[in-house]
Chains A and B, each alone.
Chain A
Amino acid sequence: MAAPKDAGAPLALRSLAWACAAFGGGVLLHIDRVPAWASLTCGVLILWRLAAVRRGLWLPGPLARSLLALGMAAVVLARFHTLSGLTAGTTLLLLMAALKLLETRRTRDELVLIGAGLFLLLAACLDRQDLGRAPLYALQGWLCCAALAVLATPSLSSRAALALAGRTLLIALPLAIALFVFFPRLPGSFWAIPRGTTALTGLSDSMTPGSIAQLVGDYSVAFRVRFEGPRPQALLYWRGPVLHEFDGRTWRRTEAALRARPRVEFLGEPVRYHVALEPTRRRFWFTLDLPAQSAGTRTSLTYDYTLMAADPVIEPTAYEGLSFLGSRAVDPLSAGSRREDTALPGGANPRTRELAQRLHAQSGTDSGYVTAVLDYLRRGGFVYSLEPQPLGADAVDDLLFRTREGFCGHYASAFVTLMRAAAVPARVVTGYLGGEWNPIGEFMEVRQADAHAWAEVWLQGRGWTRIDPTAVVAPERLTRGMLQLMPDAFSASERLLYGPGWLGGVLQRWEAASAWWADHVVRFDYASQLDLLTRFGVRSPDGRHLGWGFTAALCGWLAFMAWSTGRRSRRARPDALARAYRRLCGKLARVAPPRAPHQGPLAYAEIVLAERPDLRPGVATLFERYAQLRFGPAAAGAAEVADFARAVRRLAVPARARD
């Protein structure tokens, strides 16, 4: 071995390999998150170190290592512009641990590597929490614990170390679950959390005609909804940001926080539901059209009935919604709103304006005009297409009179432009349409592919009225998912997975399990803790009850462990042969001195026979048989032992010798 041996325990290849495995497992958890060169560096350093032990390769000295460390930190800094974000921090940890590997000399250094493996596991937990990754995390934890066992007890075989670590973790699991349930969660953070600022895919607060089409291929879940009571049978429009400002191409939200929300009269039955929203890094939450109240103190309902949170959604969020499927305005439209929602960029789309004025003049009323425009779209030969031809400077003119093909965003945009051109207040609403019902989990899954855009028009006497121009161009869009409608938008594997059939059924089950995991494990918080206590019969639970539960769980478990230790440490029950032998000695002790612990079977036989020579025929053979069975070259078979025991039982020991 070329590795210099220190006074401490010299490194063995096996324990080093285990430490490397624990660390390498941690690296693998991040392989798609950290830059490829970082994971590659780790792999190379691990191989180098193992080869150094095996073959005696050169290892860098302290100076080279320091330079390497500084260089790597500089590269990470140059790449991420920070060292504190989750990805940057993980990359740095990974590289530094790999460098530490080069100076592993003793067991302590190997422990550092296993610690790095556990820390990488923690970072992975912070990064992603979906059910599919949970087994990976469990494996990594198991690997680290087994590596600890190998380090502490090198005589353990790898299989024994894995078994030992697995058993220990299994024993620990009930306590871990109890601690998890009862450990009081703190609301808020101790220190500011560096968060990524780039928005994730999903709806944004602006819309160009093509932006929604980009989402269609994305089959990831946007949010899940669980209804209280029966699922509404009507079409479900999930309301997101409402867009007012139009520059001829892009629709945008307006920040008008101070504007009063016009009162409406809700019609029909209330729908109560629970939404589990995936992170969007944007502030708006989605509600069923039309929401009746905000979802707590951290959110507010804007004047155009968008649910806005104070902070961006950076982690899975759960909230409760109350909506009505119908509504009627009570207040008249304010002048400000009318001005905002009839504004059009001056001079753009002249042919559209001309068409609007003509149609409005023909129909007379606003509602008649809406019908006329929808008729125009229905009959005008318009096509629903994911990849329409690009539009020119006057985008709406181009769509209506030249290309005649587009996606929901195109038609919503064109419809609202037509309305505004005739001075009818109108706005674009973005959100999601429909969703997939999961019968196993009994929830509705709304995916990014369900993204949609529609219009709202102010009609006298009714207020804001939802009009979906896509419905007249492609009515099937409303009733069928995007997958059936436009299979080409999806990859083959997605078609196989999400389409109907056996795989789809398996997938639904998996989605249901994922939803359960997300609801009950990932989002398990203080409120869930109190909720659980209520279910256990605690009247008005608070933090103290959690503390008691925590203590009780800990004490109960410790008591159980102490009890089982006491049970285990008792002497092993003697085997059948030993029991029979004890019986034999017990019988003979009535007529001869009892056997002393140091006396072997043949020595004791001598003593007994010296006392009672008349017993020789039976007793001498029994002792010889015992010696043969216990100490003989062949292992004693069960039948022979049983035979011996029977012979012992049958042995008659008369109290006095027959003369």
Chain B
Amino acid sequence: MADAAAKGFWRRLNPLAPLTAALGARTAAWVRRRQGEDQLPVQLQRRRLYILPTRGGVAFGALVFVMLLAGLNYTNSLALFLTFTLAAFALVAMQLCHRNLLGVRVTALQAPAVFAQRPATLLVSLANDAATPRLRLEAGLEGAPRARADLRANTQALLAVALAPQARGVVRIARVRIATAHPFGLFRAWTWVHAPLELLVYPAAAGALPMPHAGAHRAGTRSRGGAEQDEWQGLRPFRDGDSPRQVDWKAYAREAPLLVKEYQAVGSDLRWFDFAQLPGLDTEARLQQLARWLVDAEAGGERYGLTLPGVRIPSDRGPEHRHRCLAQLARFGEAP
């Protein structure tokens, strides 16, 4: 941690930082202009591959230059031959690195929705149609740790890029970088895939307010705690957003994994969650409370609907419906 802090400090101290940032933005815009928007799947063609030496490659170049000077100075043929061999080696390494990325197919980009402050993932599907393996392919965003995978001949791979936890909202991923430094780490070839991608970040499910009573037509038939009236469905593994109240703690105490009790509602309870009915809380807290209720209601097998200012989602249930409701929460306040 101290190391990272020191790094941040030096980065702030760097007088060229604003300049490099501006240059980076200009380059990104230029790349976007010349490549245009991508329709997946995309096969990586020569025109869109970029390649530059890595730091190690620059150091290698410096080493070869020093060797050249020494060889010339001593008029030593063997030293010169070594120098030229290493220089030619670096050139071949550049070609191989370029070739390692050329022709890779990016078949899909996905960013599964995630709750706020939870680690998010970007899924990148790559396919290798060639008869030669492509090793050490990297995928990532700027400034995020990269995911790596080896693609054998005629195979596909799914790379999971870990993203930092995000705040609620919609994270727009403008471009994804596919890169490789294989085989010798002297060069890194990369490309940008501009496929519009949205990462929905649901509000964190939080808040302790009691769930509003079931809808008017079935008022009073069922309360949150009244699970005994419901039909026992079974156990399923714990998922993010599940209410701790539904966890089978007894099983957990017997060293079973964290399981959640599922019930099928008897009849069809209907709950209605309304943004406007949560006075006294700020917007984010309201959204978090709504998320809590949505998650609990879904887990309880109830039917539920959602009303936000300007939006009304009719009652339903199931994972699709849950996602639709949570997505609305995530998009809340977003400019149309």
Contact = CB atoms under 8 A, between A and B. Distances in A.
Interface string A132-161: 001001000100010011011101100000
A169 B56 contact: no
A472 B330 CA distance: 112
A522 B185 contact: no
B82 interface: yes
Contact of A115 (B59, B80, B84): B59
A148 B87 contact: no
A573 B130 CA distance: 9
Given A151-B185, A173-B85, A572-B154, A565 B129 contact: no
A522 B78 contact: yes
Given A122-B70, A191-B73, A568-B132, A168 B87 contact: no
Majority secondary structure of chain A interface residues (helix, strand, loop or mixed): helix
A145 B102 contact: no
Contacts of B86: 118, 141
B35 interface: no
B102 A569 contact: yes
A524 B77 contact: yes
A145 B183 CA distance: 10
Given A118-B63, A155-B135, A148 B81 contact: no
B71 to A, nearest CB: 8
Interface string A561-575: 110010011111100
A427 to B, nearest CB: 36
Interface residues of B, number: 54
Contact of B184 (A149, A193, A572): A149
B95 A176 contact: no
Contacts of A573: 131
Interface string B39-78: 0000000000000000110011001000101111111111
A333 to B, nearest CB: 42
A179 B84 contact: yes
Contacts of B55: 108
A179 B92 CA distance: 14
Nearest to B70: A122
B261 interface: no
A233 interface: no
A247 to B, nearest CB: 40
B32 interface: no
Contact of B3 (A6, A149, A191): A6
Contacts of B135: 153, 155-156
B56 A111 contact: yes
Given A129-B77, A569-B103, A148 B184 contact: yes
B186 interface: yes
A560 B98 CA distance: 15
A134 B85 CA distance: 14
Contact of B85 (A7, A107, A172): A172
Interface in A174-197: 175-177, 179-180, 183, 185-187, 189-191, 193
Interface string B92-134: 1101101100110000000000000000000000000111100
Q: Which 3 pairs of residues, A with B, have the shortest CB-CB distance? A: A152-B185, A572-B131, A172-B88
Interface of A: 6-7, 107-108, 111, 115, 118-119, 121-122, 125-126, 129, 134, 137, 141, 145, 148-149, 151-153, 155-156, 164-165, 168-169, 171-173, 175-177, 179-180, 183, 185-187, 189-191, 193, 315, 521-525, 557-558, 561-562, 565, 568-573
Given A168-B92, A168-B183, A572-B129, 15 more contacts: A125-B78, A126-B74, A126-B76, A129-B76, A141-B86, A148-B185, A151-B185, A152-B185, A155-B135, A168-B96, A173-B85, A176-B85, A176-B87, A190-B73, A525-B75
